[in-house]
Amino acid sequence: MASHGVMNPIPTPVPPIAYAGPALLGAVFSYLLAGVLLVQIGQYSQNTGVTDRIYLRIMVVLVALCQALQLALVTQKGWRVLVLAFTTPELMVHQSPAAAAVPVLNGVVALMVQGFFVWRIRSIGSRRNYVRPISVVILLLSLLGFASSIAISVLYIRSGADSRMLYKLNIVGPLHGASKLVCDGLITVSMISVLYWIRRDTTFRRTHTLLNILIRNTIENGFITTAFVAAHLAVYCLRKQDGSNYVFQNILGFIYAIVLLTALNRRQDHRDGNADSSQSTDFNMHNLDLSTNMGSQGFPGSRTAPALVQIDQTRTVDDCTPVSK
């Protein structure tokens, strides 16, 4: 005890702010995003989830369970670093072995979400020659990201759950981030390309407008995931002496889950828009509802794109004037 009743600083194995700060931010952002995800799940269960195929609802349940487990692990880590480490400083870097499940949970959620969008690309763009090979490439990159997340967890356990070990993964760590970055970027570019060709083949103005909305939604979703993964990779490579990487790691799964649920819930807006303008559009949004209309090229759910655009040439509509190409 120092003079005047002031306690001397507790010696710690690492700078406290560099590790306690990211633990706090990771926990706060995780709870905020968990609230957003909970709202999206509630909306899904009350609207489009009622009529979705069983395997799509199972995927949503699995994503929700993964994120609930991840939130519990983030909470445990925050408690160890911010509270227990005050009396046992070593706990600031030595985590519970259960914390190794966080990268795997992120990998599982990312694999399901990316696989979902691969299915969508393959379905709506089956007439394009480049869609099949690009879908295979995206799927392989997604599997590579999942496999590298398992490798990270295994190495983490072998190190004794030492948080400082993750920055020594000079191959697996960057490979994990790069595979996710390229995968998400390809998904976004592929979706925009397929929608662009569908719009190009469309002759009606209202259909053009609907497809423009779908393209804008695709850009928004793709930008969120791609930008976040790029920031995660940059922080991992540039900030090796502190725990800044853990902020991104703790919330990566929530980002993927929210993008998925937001995409699924947007289908209800498309349905409502089609109902309001059913007498003035050639674009039947029910052809986009992959939960209830599954043909040979169907897929479960919709991110932002139509499964099939059908033009009804048997009736003339005043406000559906052809668009000049």
Task: Check: CB of residue 134 under 8 Å from CB of residue 186.
Answer: yes
Number of structural domains found in the chain? 1
290 C-beta neighbours (distance < 10 Å), count:
26
Cα distances (Å, whole numbers) of residue 6 to 10, 13, 82, 191:
12, 22, 21, 61
What confidence score (pLDDT) does residue 224 get?
86
Q: Is residue 84 part of a domain?
A: yes
Q: Is residue 287 part of a domain?
A: no
Q: Is residue 100 part of a domain?
A: yes
What confidence score (pLDDT) does residue 7 get?
54
User: Using CA atoms, how far apart are residues 118 and 142, in angstroms rounded to an integer?
Assistant: 10
Task: Check: CB of residue 154 under 8 Å from CB of residue 116.
Answer: no
User: Using CA atoms, how far apart are residues 166 and 306, in angstroms rounded to an integer?
Assistant: 42
Whether the model clears a pTM of 0.85, i.e. scores above it, the answer is no
Distance, C-alpha 318 to centroid of its chain: 41
* Beta bridge pairs of residue 322: 204
Task: Check: CB of residue 81 under 8 Å from CB of residue 242.
Answer: no
Q: Is residue 188 part of a domain?
A: yes
Q: Is residue 229 part of a domain?
A: yes
What confidence score (pLDDT) does residue 270 get?
55
Per residue of the chain (325 residues), give pLDDT as tens.
455 555 555 666 667 777 888 889 999 999 999 999 999 999 999 888 888 889 889 999 999 999 999 999 999 988 988 888 888 888 877 788 888 899 999 999 999 999 998 988 887 777 778 888 999 999 999 999 999 999 988 888 887 777 777 667 778 888 999 999 999 999 988 888 887 777 776 666 666 667 677 777 777 778 888 889 999 888 888 877 777 888 898 999 999 999 999 888 887 665 555 544 444 444 444 444 444 333 333 333 344 444 444 434 333 333 433 343 4
DSSP 324: P
Q: Is residue 220 part of a domain?
A: yes
Longest dimension (CA), the chain: 92
Cα distances (Å, whole numbers) of residue 125 to 176, 217, 253:
28, 17, 28
CA nearest 163: which of 82, 69, 246?
Answer: 246
What confidence score (pLDDT) does residue 181 get?
93
Q: 239 is written with which tokens?
A: 């900030």
Q: Is residue 141 part of a domain?
A: yes
The boundaries of the domain holding residue 161 are: 13-268
Q: Is residue 309 part of a domain?
A: no
What confidence score (pLDDT) does residue 308 get?
41
